[in-house]
Amino acid sequence: MSLVVSFDYIFSQESGLLARHPSWERVHLQEVARVQNGDAFKSKLFSKEKGFPLIRIRDLFRSKSETFYKGTYGHEFVVSRGDLLIGMDGDFACHEWHGEPGLLNQRVCKIIPDESVLDRKFLLFGINGYLQAIKEATSSQTVTHLSSRDILRIPFPLPTLSEQQRIVAKVEALLARVNAARQRLAKVPAILKRFRQSVLAAACSGRLTAAWREEHADLEHPLSNEIEPSVLEEWNDLPEIPDSWCWTTLRDVSAYQGGYAYLSKRFTEEETGNQVLRIGNTRPGYVDELIAPAFITDEYAEETERFELQPHDILISQTGTRYKRDYGFVGLVQVSSRRLFLNQRVSRLRCDSERIEPRYVFSWLQTEPYRGCFFKDETGNVNQGNVGAKPLKTGPIPLPPFPEQHEIVRRVEALFRLADAIEKRVAAATARAEKLTQAILAKAFRGELVPTEAELARAEGRDYEPASVVLERIRAERANADTAKTRKPRRARAKGR
């Protein structure tokens, strides 16, 4: 680990999560805790099904492991529920293990407090501020690694054990309320996702505009080639549609174009104003030009002019990680200050805006019924999936009259704006909850949540014994024990001497 400042300087600013009450002493953690490092278990003995769970850094956040170890192991590497584990690479953080017993893998350590002087939960609440301070003081030019020696050098505040326990009880009571709010907030994104899908389903089945349609009964049937019922039966779970609509294919309402295999060696680091949109730029429901932008020269742009995109072109990604389902995303090209070009494995649908509303087609492509059609002929291997052009050409689409398409888009966008506003409020509330958690912990370690032991002693007219006195007694007891262990026993005298 390469620090940009000295280790002592990191903790010289006693503020925020590094605060302490003046009556508290600081002690290096090595005096009140020990660290058990993980083992480098043999990867050839890893399993997905059999053995003892193996706890790696990525498992700390969810207290669950999906990797098992079939070999032998020492008892010192066993992790039990309630143990405190620290990830020693990347974002240093201490987690309380809530899962089933497992094995401590390398680059994860277990910190074990001496609970006669240091409460386990008090250590958990306080140590992450110190680990974050170390992280922030680590040079960004190096891979961030933490050692057990660094952890044991942390100068941790040490009030009396009874005071620690009162602080822990108060913090847990306050955080229980904050965490309950955070859990409720965490459910909202899934609710909004279902809401958006419900809106799209209602929109593309005619339910969203049922009352509107009764007021506009004189609309002409859409001019399109209807799919034969026998062909329509090939697709599953398609919605029922009004009599004034028809089922047709995407090629009857849009022009399909596959992307061009732009050569990465011809990309330029200079922002030329000619950008190639790749798979990563097509996100769920939008196109993001800012993700890893790739530029081409004016000359290359002219060579591939026929792959230039226009506003309201619909993009859909055709390759991605199969088990994550991170493709099949649909985005709508917006007006841009750049010329945008279509890369391979991303396809474009372009609608005749005088006859077809592109945003209606865009809405249909995001529905679950169409995604089922899209992935029906998926190919690839276990990890990577691919979808060809067929569902983007011959895939079905329920088509309402042109004026109704506009009304559907208007209503969908209004409801989506409502969902977006709720999403922003939830994000702001979540951020406030996180700040509140940090504020509670900072207040706890300033000694402001509960009366300190010194204050209670003065109020009750009794002597106050700071934790440092207890610690000195423990040091003396340890020193005596060590001396007794190292003292050689006297040899017994032989008889007759």
The domain that holds 94 is classified in CATH as 3.90.220.20
Same domain, 241 and 381: yes
Q: For residue 185, is it within any domain? A: no
Same domain, 106 and 226: no
Q: For residue 485, is it within any domain? A: no
CA–CA dist 401, 224 (Å, integer): 10
Same domain, 32 and 138: yes
The 3-state secondary structure of 304-372 reads CHHHECCCCCEEEECEEECCCCCCCCEEECCCCCCEEEEECCEEEEEECCCCCCHHHHHHHHCCHHHHH
CA–CA dist 270, 338 (Å, integer): 13
CA–CA dist 176, 184 (Å, integer): 12
Q: For residue 259, is it within any domain? A: yes
pLDDT > 80? residue 309: yes
Return the SS3 of 28: strand
CA–CA dist 362, 329 (Å, integer): 11
Q: Using one digit for the tens of pLDDT, what is the confidence trace for 125-181?
A: 999 999 999 988 886 655 678 899 999 999 999 999 999 999 999 999 999 999 999
Last residue of a domain, one of 106, 138, 158: 158
Q: For residue 437, is it within any domain? A: no
Predicted pLDDT of residue 237: 85
CA–CA dist 345, 330 (Å, integer): 13
Last residue of a domain, one of 400, 430, 463: 400
Q: Which domain holds residue 85?
A: 7-158
CB contact at 8 A, 208 and 409: no
Return the SS3 of 158: strand
Number of domains in the chain: 2
Predicted pLDDT of residue 4: 66
pLDDT > 60? residue 362: yes
CA–CA dist 397, 55 (Å, integer): 48
Q: For residue 460, is it within any domain? A: no
Same domain, 148 and 238: no
Rg (CA), the chain: 32
Under the banding of pLDDT at 50, 70 and 90, the label for residue 226 is confident
Same domain, 229 and 106: no
Same domain, 394 and 320: yes
Q: For residue 425, is it within any domain? A: no
The predicted model gives 289-307 an average pLDDT of: 96
Same domain, 283 and 362: yes
Q: For residue 375, is it within any domain? A: yes
Residue carrying the six token digits 């559907």: 408
Q: For residue 481, is it within any domain? A: no
Last residue of a domain, one of 137, 158, 179: 158
Same domain, 231 and 134: no
Same domain, 149 and 234: no
